[in-house]
Structure formats: C-alpha cells, structure tokens
Amino acid sequence: MASKRAFLQGIQDENIEPRTRRFEEPENPAKKASKDEKDRFGPTPAPSGKEFLRDEKKINMKTAHIRLQKDLKTVNKRAKNASQKAEMLKILEPTEYGAMRKTGKIYSQKEIESVADVQTMQKKFSLDLDMGPYIARYDSSGRHLLLAGELGHVAMIDHYTKMPKCEFSVKEKISDAIFLQNEKLMAIAQKKWTYVYDNQGTEIHCLKKTDRVNKMNYLPYHFLLASINRLNYLSYIDISIGKEIYCKRVSEEGSLNVICNNRTNGIIHLGHTTGTVTLWSPNSDKFVAKMLCHRSNLISASVSNDGKYMATSSQDASLKIWDLRTWKCLTTKRLPRGAHQLQYSQRGLLAASFANVVELWKHPWEEECRQPIMQYKTALVPTTLEFCPYEDVLGIGSKKGFESILAPGAGEPNPDSWQYNPFQTKKQRAETEVRMLLEKAPVDTICLDPNLLAKLDQDAAEVFDEEQLKRVGFKPDRKFEPRVRKRGKGKTGAKEARKSKMREAAFKKHLVAKREKESKQKIVKGEQAKNVLARFMKKDD
Amino acid sequence: MEDIKILSRNPSHYKRETKTELHPVHRNISKNSNPLETVREYQRALNAQKLERVMAKPFVGALEGHTDGVSIIARHPSKLNVLWSGSQDGQIRKWSLTSRKTTKKIQAHDGWVRGLAVSKTDKIVTVGVDKQIKLWDGDEFSDSPEIATIIGKSPFTSCDFALIKDESSKFITSSSVVEYWDSTRSDPIRRWQWGHDSYNRVKFNPVETDLACTTVSDKSVVLYDVRADEPMKKLKLDMQSNGISWNPQQAMLFTVANEDNNLYTFDIRNLGSAFAIHVDHTDAVLDVDWSPTGRELVSASYDRTVRIFQQGKNRSRECYHIKRMQRVFSCAFSGDAQYLMCGSDEGNIRLWKTVAWAKTGVLNFRQKQSLQYSEALKKKFAHHNDVRRIARHRHLPKTIYKERMKMQTMISSRKRKERNLQAHSKPGAVEIKSIAERVVEETME
C-alpha cells in the first residue's frame, strides 16, 4: 500500500512533463531508470509472503537419499515462490480492512460514529424486543441474523437490508439457537428436544436424540452440530446424513455451560466449574486434552480464528490468554468482574462483556496491552456477543432485545467467494452448498494437528525395524557410519552400498548363529527324548 | 493516516451489473480464510480420482473393412490422419483415422501380408508369404499404385524403410536372411546371416538411422549396422521374441515383445542385463510400439488385451480389452501420442485413447484450469492408501484376472524357494544374480 501511495504522489509531481504526442511509443523502462526516478518512488520492498506460507518451518529432513533431498528443496522453493506471488496479488483485493490504530487510548462509540460514513452507520442499529433475553447469531456469510428470545420468539432478518425473512413463535423455552450450513436451516434447542427449522419458519426435523440441550456449536467444514446437555452429555450430529455419530457423558464435575470450537482443527473446547477446559474430538472416548485454566469456576472461553490463542475468563475476575500450541498461559488480565461472554473476531479482536459493559481488546496476548481499546455500556446485561463475519460489527443480544455496534478492525474484509459470499444469489448459494458437501472433511480427521495428512512419515524406518524384529528376530544397526573416503571414492551411492553390505553381513552372521543354536537344541532334544522314553524300558536294558 | 478506519464494502464490486456478465469471484487464499485446507484438499483429490475412473472411457471406435484378420498396421510418419494396414488375405488398406473409413484398397499379395512400412513421401513397401516384395505409391490421387515388384527366395517375414533423409527407396527385409535393398535394384545391397535360422522381425532405429535390430527364431536378438558387412551383436533370451520397437526419444533403448509374456527393454550399451522388464501379460506378446514421446509403450498380446507400460516401470498402467477383440496381432501409437491403434484377428482395427479419462475436443480456459487442478491434486495425494486404491482399480476379464493370480502365486513361491536355498547354503555357493541379469543367457559379438 505504501508503494501505491508513493506512486500516486509521484504522478502529481511537477517535474513530469505532460505528453505532447498522443501515439508516442512507450519508453523502455530500463533506459529511463535514472537515479532521480529511483529515489522518488522509493525502494519497493520484496514481497515476503509470510502470511501465505502454510508451513512455518521449511521441511527439513536429514537424508542421504539425494533424490529426496532434491525434491524437498524444490518443494520449499515452490512454496516460497507461491507465497510471494500471493502477496503481490493482494493488490487485487477490493476492500481494505478497518483498524483502531492508537495504542493506549480507549475509544468510544461516539468517536467511531463521527468517522463512519452513511453506509456504515446503517449497520449500527438496535431492536427493542420483549420476549426474554435474546440470543443473537449471524450466519456464516454474515448476511442474516437470527434472534431467538428465551420465551419462544424466533426471528430471522437480513441485516443489510433490514428485511425480516421469517418470524414465528415456538411456544416453549429456548436455550440456544444456531444457524446450520447457511441461512436455509437453523437449529433451535427448546425445552425438551432440538428442532431444525427452515428459513420460512417450517419445522423440518425434531431431533429427539439431542434433548435438554444447554448450548450448541456448529463445525462448518465437518457438517457437525455439537451440543452439550443438562445431563452432561456431549453429542455430535452429522447434519448431512442426519445421524448422531457420538454421544458421551462428560465426567467432569458441575454442569456444562461453556462451549467453543477451534476453527482450524474442529476440536470442541468445554469449560467446567472446576476451572478446567477439556478438548474433545469425536474420535476418542475421552477428552483429547485437559487444561487447568483457573482456580475457580470457568464462565467463558473463546478460541481465536487462527487457532493459536484461547481466551478464558472465570469467576475470580481474571482473563487469561493461552497459547494452544505450547499449552502455556501468555498473559493474565484483571477485569472488574468475570467476563460472562468472550468472543474472538475474524481479525483477532477480543470482545469481553461483564455486567453491562462490553470491552474490545486488541492483541490481548501481549503483556503491554493493559487496557481495552474500546468500551461500550449497554442498557441491560448482554446474553450473547457475536461478531458479524466480514463486517466491522459486533452484535449484542440482551434482555432488552438486540443491538449492533461498530467495532473497527473486527471483520475480514475480503471473503473467499468460493466459501462465503454475502452477496450470493440463490444459484450461488446452492452451488456453494454442494461444493462444501463434496469437500466435507470426514470425522476421522478431527485431531489436534490438522495437517497430519500432508506430513512426511518420518519414523518409517523405525517401524520397519520393529516389524523385522518380530518377523525374523533381528534388528539391523542403522547407526553404522562408514569411514569418509577421498579421491572419488566418497560418493553417496558407494556409501549406501557399504552400509547395506554391513547390514547384510550382520544378518548372515545372525542366521549362522541361529542355525548353530537350533542344531544344538536338536541334539539336546534328542537326548531328552531318549531320556523321556527311558522310563518305559525294562530295567535290564 | 487517520487513527480510526472502518471496513466499508462497495456492493458493486461483488454484484454483476447485467445478466450477460459473469458473477464476480474474489479469492482469498490466506491461511486464515482457509482452515482445514489439507483435509479439504484430500477430499477433493479423492473426488478427482473417483471422477477419473468414472470418465475412463478409452474406446473411440473401430475401423471396419478387412475381411480377414489384420496382421500388421503402420502409421504414416508425418501425417496424423493416415494409417495403413495389411491383412491375412493379402489386402492392404489406407485409412483415414478421423472418418474411420478406407480411402484406398489394394490387393497386394497372395497370402499373409507379413510386413508393411510407410515412408514420409507416401511410398509403401509390403512383403508377403508369397516371397514377393512390392513397392506402392500411397498417394490417393495416383493412377497406378504399384511401382515395383521384387521376387525373393523364401517367404518374407517383415520389412522396414530406412529413415535416411533424402531417399525413401532403401529398405530392409527379413526372411531366412536379413537383406538390405535399394528399390531400383533387383538384388539386395547387403545380406547378413548368423547361423541357419529364420528372422522374425526387423526394425530400424528412428534416431540412429544406421542401426537395425532383428529377432531370430533361435530365441535371440541381433543388432546390425547397415554400413558394416557383419552383424554387430547377438543377445540370447529364454524364449523367442515376436516384435521390436526402438525408443524414438532415447536412441539406445529398444524393446522386444517376448513369447514368455514379458517385454524386455535393453540398452544397446549394456546388453548383459535388461534395462527394464515389463510384466503383466498372461500370454505371448505379439507386438510392441513406443510412443512418440518416448515415455510410454503399447503392447499387443495373444491374450486379447492391449497394455500400456511406462518407460522404466515394470507393471502396466492400463489394460484395454473388449469382448469382440480377439488375438491382437499388431499395435501402434498415433503420431500425437494421444491415441493408439490395434489390429486384431477378427479383422477390425480399434482406436483407443492413451489417457482414458482425457476430454477430447477444444476446451475453454476454465475447463483446462479445473482439469489441471484435478491432476495436481491427484499427484499430491497419490501415495495415500485410499487414493491409490481407487487409481489402481481396473476391470479385467475373468480369465486374465485368474491367470494373473496364478502367476503371482507361482512367482512368489519361486522367490521364496530361492531365498531359502540361498539362506541355508554355504555363503557364496549360490550365485546371486539379479532378475534383469538372468534374462540374458549370453551375448556375442
């Protein structure tokens, strides 16, 4: 962006002469690269492409296999080139991200509103509703808003155009509501069972297996609906095939009220009253991992979009940020009260609410960040906090109804049209749904490391040796390093040949030893056989 | 720079203005926008692999017309559309591959047409069981097709044109001797003989145009240099070879199709061991042809199948079979390596695609892109078990499947016995020879 700005400034400079002839041939840029020109535009930084690199470390494997080494080198080089090109392509992105740049200052909504344009101000609105504390959820493309009041009122509106799509009453107590794969289906956890409704309000399914649900969570790439129960059961339903694939009783003390998911690997985090967070995947009977986060009751948790950080808050008014790869606590922050709602935005802003205050933290994992970057006072205690995907908007559901506030720097500006498109037509929505179904990640792949499929199997040699040990009773010594020879005799192929010779010789030796042992055993057996029969012989013989 | 900036999206960037335009598509390929990328790519690779098997329809069509079995087919070296074939009733036909129709019919010989060669200047040479060599003008608009006839002493078995630049009048034939002719003369320029056996096939090297290779009925393969008086090298195998083909990209490699169901590729610099052994046929291999790319070869076998092998690999990539196709006597690749032809016993020549799932015709940019992406995905995840299992899956006729199972048990038991023998005998008593070396019995100069 800096170079773009510099280029535009350069055009307005007086030193450039206006073109006199219309059909002048474009000058050869190589000729005109004089010193002055270079200084004016400044040096263009080479694209680093770091944010597009998938593997943070280069694949490095110590191997004497020349071909494999060459292949790894080309793989690393290709990845670097691709990430640099991807960085250069960023110039094609149509929308820029928002930000609140000053550090050390607490912004207020009034300041933000003073800078906002008409279109942005339309996104900030509030609805006064009176059917109980409201649960506000956005769908995956950020276009539709689902409002579910505890007394049974359900409404779905398109919050760009403020047009209501459907509104109906469920006539029962609602504990949680959530959008499924897109705005076509929504799941509402009612008093007894969970129901799935259409975007017109028609009841499609009644899921009797998930009963007395407290909270629900949806994993978009696996098409899994995870729900936690009043009887402490965690269950997963695959909504593409409609089957309950997992139902286990969580044996931690206390009721289950805190659930959040890690978007990068599909693992569900559950918070308990013992202050622990357990990580669950439908592939194991027990939790995958357990973290002791707080000394007292855990009241909320949220995992960041990139899967690196988890924010937890407990009754003892502390907010802790955990690194999910090293399992260590990065910082502890003191809040006036325990944060009842915690939510990470797409670009890393953390929203925390306690009493009737909503705070936004920027880069909370840093030690230097001691205060939030924005504070907002709501009329009544918020029940849900949810960032609108792809917008700089935070939706707050409370007893009063619903209100959305501006949160600059929260939303990802450029959605991938192949996945989530806020401006999608009916046909595009249907095609996206089909494509997502075709690419549905199978349940077996949910594990702590999502990139396990692409990793090199580096302990293959050890596994082979173990198997050989079982089969033949002999394990070759792989640590033999042949003497370094010079004068053209130190080639890798020759070295490998010598190594394999040594291994073969060792194997032959082992075979010889084995044969001798067996022959000895035969003799011993023969003698024993005689002795065994000896007792049946007559004493004279 | 302002200290507060709010995301403001312009809807016109994301919507199309008129119905005739395409919907704008914006991609975000950063890591955060694509969680679980590896898993989803793996699913896409699986789908691509399954689609490949669904789209694998290699049979294009049949060239029907011959009334007796097709004994030999030869493609025109520079025209993609032209194919010549000779049948067991002595008739040769010129085909147009696009229309799959005969463009010229000539009654060439009295019995089998044993050999047929086409030159760049549209000249054809055919040899037959009736001891005659005939030269034809293959041009469609010529009045009299026959140019010359040469009568030999014994029934001929094959012929090949010398690929010299300017002339197309020199050719080599094999019968009980190997003879090198000039069409203007009635006596051969050179005559070679090594022992008293009959010669089966002869082929010129397309790159090193002075080298030729023949297969002999005493189970050997002989190499010649046309400039020399004596044959160069002899290589003895276990069983007789039926067909030869030189690699058009790597002049030192040639492949022989052998009676013992295998194809052997040799490097002329080291005839002591086979360069590669291609195993998969269940009956004698009758003909072999290298692709113009030098990467693949096609083999026609007595077991009613045509198989495609890759250079250096010993198992076949594809096996083409059809219920109506009986013993396949000859095969050839097309000039652009996209198609292959095979002539069989019931008188039909069949046209197949080399890449069974390839989409023919002109593809637009989006189609090409999506096919390229599928290929890249399949390559990336090719080693995963599920993907590999689907990629390997082929339907084989029951007889061939059963034969292969039988061969597998035979080969594995043989190997096991050899290993036991080696393990339980004095070290050094049993000679360890690689399979490639065992192929060659002896070599002579």
> What pLDDT does A541 receive?
46
pLDDT above 60 (res A68)? yes
pLDDT above 90 (res A41)? no
* Nearest CA distance, B419 vs chain A (angstrom): 12
Q: What's the rounded mean pLDDT across residues A278-286?
A: 94
Highest mean pLDDT among A42-56, A362-376, B165-179, B244-258: B244-258
> What pLDDT does A25 receive?
53
Whether B189 contacts B150, CB under 8 Å: no
* Of B251 and A44, the one with more pLDDT: B251
Q: Taking CB atoms and an 8 Å limit, are A411 and B7 in contact across chains?
A: yes
Question: Cα dist. A403→A120, A140, A376, A398, A399 in Å?
Answer: 14, 19, 12, 8, 11
* Nearest CA distance, A107 vs chain B (angstrom): 9
Question: Cα dist. B294→A102, A246, A407, B245 in Å?
Answer: 65, 54, 63, 11
Q: Taking CB atoms and an 8 Å limit, are B13 and A94 in contact across chains?
A: yes
What string of pLDDT tens digits covers the 445 residues of chain B?
578 999 998 989 999 999 999 899 888 888 888 899 999 999 999 999 999 999 999 999 999 999 999 999 999 999 999 999 999 999 999 999 999 999 999 999 999 999 999 998 888 999 999 999 999 998 877 777 888 899 988 999 999 998 877 665 789 999 999 999 988 888 888 898 877 789 999 999 999 888 999 999 989 999 999 888 888 888 999 999 999 999 999 999 999 999 999 999 999 998 888 999 999 999 999 999 999 999 999 999 999 999 999 998 999 999 999 999 999 999 999 999 999 999 999 999 999 999 999 999 999 999 999 999 999 999 999 989 899 999 999 999 999 999 999 999 998 999 889 888 888 888 777 777 777 777 777 777 7
Among A371, A360, A321, A314, residue whose Cα is nearest residue A339: A314
Sketch the domain layout of chain B as residue ranges.
Answer: 68-353
Q: What is the set of domains in chain A, with CATH numbers?
A: 109-417 (2.130.10.10)
Partner residue facing B35 (CB), from A263, A452, A515: A263
pLDDT tens for A259-275 read: 999 999 999 999 999 99
pLDDT above 80 (res A415)? yes
Calpha distance B61→B322 (Å, rounded): 12
**Identity (one letter) of the amino acid at B441?**
E
Q: What's the rounded mean pLDDT across residues A51-66?
A: 72
Question: Cα dist. A258→A106, A202, A254, B243 in Å?
Answer: 29, 29, 11, 75
> What pLDDT does A174 receive?
96
The residues facing B276 across adjacent strands are: B265
Positive or negative, the CA dihedral B184, B186, B188, B194 is positive
Partner residue facing A415 (CB), from B28, B38, B423: B28
The residues facing B410 across adjacent strands are: none
Whether B184 contacts B169, CB under 8 Å: yes
> What pLDDT does A34 receive?
53
**Identity (one letter) of the amino acid at B394?**
R
Q: Which helix (H) or strand (E) holds A405?
A: strand A401-406
* Nearest CA distance, A423 vs chain B (angstrom): 7
Calpha distance A359→A353 (Å, rounded): 6
- Which of A238-247, A372-381, B9-18, B158-167 is predicted least confidently? B158-167
For chain B, which residues lie within 8 Å of any Cβ of chain A, measuring from their own Cβ?
1-11, 13-15, 23-40, 42-44, 47, 381, 384, 423-424, 427
* Nearest CA distance, A100 vs chain B (angstrom): 5
> What pLDDT does A540 receive?
55
| Reported ipTM | 0.80
Residue A19 corresponds to which tokens in the numbers above? Answer: 């073109």
Q: Is A292 exposed, middle or buried (0-12, 13-18, 19+ CB in 10 A)?
A: exposed
Whether A242 contacts A225, CB under 8 Å: no
Q: What is the DSSP string of B264-311?
A: EEEETTBTTS-SEEEE--SS-EEEEEE-TTSSEEEEEETTSEEEEEET
Query: pTM to 2 decimals?
Result: 0.83
Residue of A nearest to B3 (CA): A101
* Of A69 and A35, the one with more pLDDT: A69
* Nearest CA distance, B395 vs chain A (angstrom): 26
pLDDT tens for A494-531 read: 888 888 888 888 888 888 888 888 888 777 666 655 66
Q: Helix, strand or coil for residue A155?
A: strand
* B217 phi/psi in degrees, rounded to 5: -75, -10
pLDDT tens for A71-87 read: 888 888 888 898 888 88
Partner residue facing B7 (CB), from A391, A442, A451: A391
pLDDT tens for A420-462 read: 888 999 999 999 999 999 999 999 999 998 888 877 666 666 7
Q: Taking CB atoms and an 8 Å limit, are A264 and B33 in contact across chains?
A: no
pLDDT tens for B218-245 read: 899 999 998 888 888 889 999 999 999 9
Q: Taking CB atoms and an 8 Å limit, are B6 and A116 in contact across chains?
A: yes
Residue of B nearest to A221 (CA): B36
Residue A285 corresponds to which tokens in the numbers above? Answer: 């009977």
Is CATH 2.130.10.10 the classification given to domain B68-353?
yes
The helix-helix angle for B37-54 and A426-438 (nearest 10°) equals 90
Residue B229 corresponds to which tokens in the numbers above? Answer: 């008086």
Q: Taking CB atoms and an 8 Å limit, are A441 and B29 in contact across chains?
A: no
Partner residue facing A86 (CB), from B5, B29, B32: B29
Q: What's the rounded mean pLDDT across residues A287-302?
A: 94
* Nearest CA distance, A455 vs chain B (angstrom): 10
Q: Taking CB atoms and an 8 Å limit, are A454 and B38 in contact across chains?
A: yes
* A147 phi/psi in degrees, rounded to 5: -120, 125
Whether A310 contacts A321, CB under 8 Å: yes
> What pLDDT does B166 receive?
64
When pLDDT is cut at 50, 70 and 90, the band that residue A64 belongs to is: low
Q: Taking CB atoms and an 8 Å limit, are A306 and B32 in contact across chains?
A: yes
Angle at the Cα of A67 from the Cα atoms of A64 and A73, rounded to 5 degrees: 95
